[in-house]
Structure 1
């Protein structure tokens, strides 16, 4: 069954994209496949550029659109390809195929519409019995 992790952070959508890059780097270092699902082509292109530049020492080889050879893929389409590892969902809605993945990650940031949407999504996952974890990165440690 898909495990669902929610990450709450302070900041805006740009901060969410940076967190997505950090989570992708961590997963890649662990040998896991990652699919970054975005709402549209413009966001896919923005994330493509950010994966190359968010951290000077990082090297995250990736592809825009999932291919069998890509361990890291960015997609805004309907087909996740052969990816089944980690889904980082940056879109407004959960894709219908999220349950194909071992883990789905939802990022919550400081925009009321997003907070409301993610609360609803949390209830959706919970009502269907998906194991949930919540990580609050907005509070100082």
Structure 2
């Protein structure tokens, strides 16, 4: 399984999430976006609706009758009713459940840097886990580790 750590720097998580989600949708994959903060999830819900008619990202908030059909599902829990094999951690709080996915995207900023460092160390040398660290530099993602 692969874990991609994204240090946001000055970037807003919403634009990064929309970019990752859009790329996965183009590839025919599904995504579960997790955050413990329902306000953040509500903000992401509006963002994904407001991508415009050309770049609309089909999604839903977990707990609805069509969870299983959603290509992108926003949730406070790490279970995947939409059968996603990709998990995006939007709030900087590592979840061990991420290891049950094929790929996890872990977004963090200065306020959650300590937890990201701890997660990076916990995953070091773990069998079957590939770690990648990405940093935003001049509007581009640069692989650092």
Q: Secondary structure at the match of 1:77?
A: coil
Shift of 1:28: 0.6
1:38-82 per-position Cα deviation (integer Å, ceiling 9, x unaligned): 122111111100112256641111010172111110001353224
Preserved CA contact (<8 Å) 1:9 1:136: yes
Q: Which of 46, 49, 54 is matched with 1:52 structurally?
A: 49
What residue number does 2:58 align with?
Answer: 61
The within-5 A match list for 1:47-126 is 47-54=44-51, 57-65=54-62, 67-77=67-77, 79-109=79-109, 111=110, 113-126=111-124
Q: Secondary structure at the match of 1:11?
A: coil
How many Å separate the matches in 1 of 2:125 and 2:91? 21
Cα 1:29–1:139 shift into 2, 3 Å:
same
1:99-136 per-position Cα deviation (integer Å, ceiling 9, x unaligned): 22110011132x2x311111111111224242111222
What residue number does 2:6 align with?
Answer: 7
Shift of 1:94: 2.4
Runs ≥4 residues deviating over 4 A: none
How many Å separate the matches in 1 of 2:72 and 2:139? 30
TM-score, structure 2 as length reference: 0.81
Which one scores higher on RCO, CA 8 angstroms, separation ≥ 6?
Answer: 1
The within-5 A match list for 1:11-26 is 11=10, 15-26=12-23
Q: Secondary structure at the match of 2:124?
A: helix
Q: Which runs of 5+ in 2 are unaligned?
A: 141-145
TM-score, structure 1 as length reference: 0.83
How many Å separate the matches in 2 of 1:78 and 1:102? 13
